[in-house]
Amino acid sequence: MKQPASIFPALGLGRVLGAGLLLLLLLPVVALIASTSGADVAVGFAHPHFGSALRLSLTTSIVSLAIVVLTGTPLAWWMATSASRITRVVSVLVDLPVVIPPAVMGVGLLLTFGRQGLLGPPLGAAGIVVPFTEIAVVLAQVIVSGPFFVQAATNAFRKIEPDTLAVARTLGASPREAFLRIAVPVALPGLLAGASLSWARALGEFGATLLFAGNLPGKTQTMPLAIFAAMESDLRVAVVLSLLLVAIGTILLLALRLLPGLARGRAGRDTR
Amino acid sequence: MTQWRVRAQAHVGELRLAVDIAGDDAPLMLIGPNGSGKTTLLRVIMGLVPPTEATITVGDRTLVDTAAGIDRRVETRGVGYVPQGYGLFPNMTVLDNVAFGLSVRTRKLGLQQRHARARAALADMECAELAERMPEGLSGGEQQRVAVARALVTQPALLLFDEPLAALDAATRRSIRAFLATHLRQIGCPSIIVTHEPRDVLALDADVVVLGDGKVVQRGSLDTLRRDPTNAFVAEFVACLNEVAPPRDAQG
């Protein structure tokens, strides 16, 4: 059957240019997969830094995701529901880490938490060392990944019809009940999408981590840093680590597409 | 017979609301130009907008008495609300929407009991067959009935409607108007209905309160409003009725 003609004008040259970008996006991934043999994968997995980098990446990124969700959800709710004009300023502030290069954020973090930094003296007096520790890794991840969650959550909360929450209140729900039983479930697809993006960003964090947490194998060397280190010693290890990150990213993207539908299908049941 | 009285002052943006209205079980229609304070008054009664000064009583319950320091929270006022867009919870089936008010912490019934009562409320609104549907796929008229069932299931002391028919097409509006006219009388709970439709007033044969600039500018039956419109808004409101329908006595 013939497809109905599109009402949009076709772009002759534009199509070629668009296809060019698409190709450029795909080629590195194809190259990664094509250049790896089974033997390479075995060598990569066996490398002493592989396991520790994977473990450190997973634990720190999960901890930072938890921090981002716990602190970002109330912030997003406030930005979505407050009539105050301060929310506009805050919204710009929250986005700052997206436009500021991660390396710059790394320098900023050092100047904040370093021995000579803003908070250095009180932290030092309390015996707390932040730079070049796991705490630094987590802090760097929280800063660069937080905005992705907060913006997605704010948009998701904004889409809720305010009258639904008003009705919930008149039916006897406390503000907390209305939030947990109406606002969160209705915004859930957006919250999950934001959390996934945020987690992916934390997992891939490189610049701020390198400057603020260093590249110490087994301590602060996350997967992206291990790739950086492996490039100079054994490319195979770098490729295997890279492939693993590609796989995780792909799974996240697929989940992002599938989760909203699943969440919507399950949310309707009240069986408690 | 429940008597209620709302005496309230509130400042919201440019609007300075200052009203004193009372009523009983008979539905009361609230009309007025945009920005005259209709929705704000509903929100003050619900407790969503803080009044500067107010006493609100329904039956023997005092919801608000600023002088005495009484200000019940939204969730304990027992004021039902059917908003303009119906405000159905999109994450729940129709049955769970209606049962929501029976599942809150302060009024939690068992699952079977609340579903039974929700089904009964839906049956009262002649839409029992919608129970398992999600709000997304419902027509405007169906959503309206579900929203009313949901508000009634908690047995509110006062029921508020904000433009209940505005979002419906003409044919549905006629049938829902007739439906509300019969049901609001049976419910036996006072109701305040914001409208901009003279035909709603005609169908419900209710008293009308006209708001203008945050104040009550006229109160009376439709006939009073027709005989002696207090301002251009009221005159236009009833004039448009003269065009669309014969006066009530000519009908009967």
- Tell me the per-residue pLDDT of A78-100, one tens digit each, with 9 for 90 and over: 999 988 889 989 999 999 988 99
B105 contacts A269? CB cut-off 8 A: no
Share of chain A above pLDDT 70, in %: 93
Determine which of A254-258, B84-88, B241-245 has the lowest per-residue pLDDT on average.
Answer: B241-245
B70 and B173 together in one domain: yes
Q: Give B96's pLDDT tier (boundaries 50, 70, 90).
A: very high
Q: What is the CATH number of the domain that holds A181?
A: 1.10.3720.10
Q: Residue A113 and residue A135: Cα distance in Å, rounded?
A: 11
If one compares B54 and A233, the residue with the highest pLDDT of the two is B54
* Boundary residue ending a domain (B95, B129, B154): B154
B246 and B231 together in one domain: yes
Q: What is the CATH number of the domain that holds B176?
A: 3.40.50.300
* Boundary residue ending a domain (B113, B133, B154): B154
- Domain count for chain B, please give it: 2
Looking at residue B126, what is its pLDDT? 87
Q: Evaluate if residue A265 carries a pLDDT over 80.
A: no
* Boundary residue ending a domain (B136, B154, B172): B154
Q: Evaluate if residue A61 carries a pLDDT over 70.
A: yes
With an 8 Å Cβ cutoff, is A262 touching chain B? no
Looking at residue B252, what is its pLDDT? 36
CB contacts under 8 A, A 116-175 vs B, are 161, 163-164, 166-174
Looking at residue A106, what is its pLDDT? 93
Nearest by CB: A166 against B81, B100, B154: B81
Q: Residue A9 and residue A26: Cα distance in Å, rounded?
A: 27
Matching residue, tokens 């390198």: A210
Residue B192 pairs in a beta bridge with B28, B160
Looking at residue B249, what is its pLDDT? 52
Question: Which of B27, B21, B4 has its CA nearest to residue B203?
Answer: B27
Q: Evaluate if residue B246 carries a pLDDT over 80.
A: no
| Chain A residues whose beta carbon lies within 8 Å of the beta carbon of residue B101 | 171-172
Q: Which amino acid makes up residue A28?
A: P
Domain-embedded: residue A230 = yes
B171 and B244 together in one domain: yes
B171 and B206 together in one domain: yes
Taking CB atoms and an 8 Å cut-off, how many pairs form between chains A and B? Answer: 95
B150 contacts A167? CB cut-off 8 A: yes
Determine which of A102-106, A142-146, A190-194, A239-243 has the lowest per-residue pLDDT on average.
Answer: A239-243
Domain-embedded: residue A117 = yes
B66 and B130 together in one domain: no
With an 8 Å Cβ cutoff, is A176 touching chain B? no
Looking at residue A37, what is its pLDDT? 82
**pLDDT tens string B29-73:** 999 999 999 999 999 999 999 999 999 999 999 999 999 999 999
B72 and B162 together in one domain: yes
| Chain B residues whose beta carbon lies within 8 Å of the beta carbon of residue A185 | 91
B173 and B234 together in one domain: yes
Domain that holds residue A172: 48-267
- Number of CB atoms found within 10 A of residue B135's CB: 22
| Chain B residues whose beta carbon lies within 8 Å of the beta carbon of residue A164 | 87-90
Domain-embedded: residue A30 = no
| Chain A residues whose beta carbon lies within 8 Å of the beta carbon of residue B80 | 170-171
**pLDDT tens string A110-153:** 999 988 888 988 888 888 888 899 999 999 999 999 999 999 99
Share of chain B above pLDDT 70, in %: 95
Nearest by CB: B104 against A171, A268, A271: A171
Domain-embedded: residue A259 = yes
Q: Give A66's pLDDT tier (boundaries 50, 70, 90).
A: very high
Domain that holds residue B205: 4-78+156-251
B121 and B60 together in one domain: no
Domain-embedded: residue A28 = no
Looking at residue B250, what is its pLDDT? 45
Averaged pLDDT for residues A7-35: 86
- Number of CB atoms found within 10 A of residue A46's CB: 11
Determine which of A211-215, A219-223, A233-237, A242-246 has the lowest per-residue pLDDT on average.
Answer: A233-237
User: What chain B residue is nearest to A163 in terms of C-alpha separation?
Assistant: B87
Q: Give B251's pLDDT tier (boundaries 50, 70, 90).
A: very low
**pLDDT tens string B182-198:** 888 777 789 999 998 88
Mean pLDDT of chain A: 88
B71 and B183 together in one domain: yes
B125 and B10 together in one domain: no
Matching residue, tokens 């003279």: B198
- Domain count for chain A, please give it: 1
| Chain B residues whose beta carbon lies within 8 Å of the beta carbon of residue A263 | none
Averaged pLDDT for residues A250-262: 77
B193 and B244 together in one domain: yes
Mean pLDDT of chain B: 89
Q: Evaluate if residue B247 carries a pLDDT over 70.
A: no
Matching residue, tokens 């004021």: B79
Domain-embedded: residue A20 = no
Q: Evaluate if residue B129 carries a pLDDT over 60.
A: yes
Nearest by CB: B46 against A166, A177, A182: A166
B66 and B147 together in one domain: no
Q: Residue B201 and residue B208: Cα distance in Å, rounded?
A: 8
CA distances from B250 to A131, A189, B23, B220, B222 (A): 87, 57, 28, 20, 14
| Chain A residues whose beta carbon lies within 8 Å of the beta carbon of residue B93 | 268-270
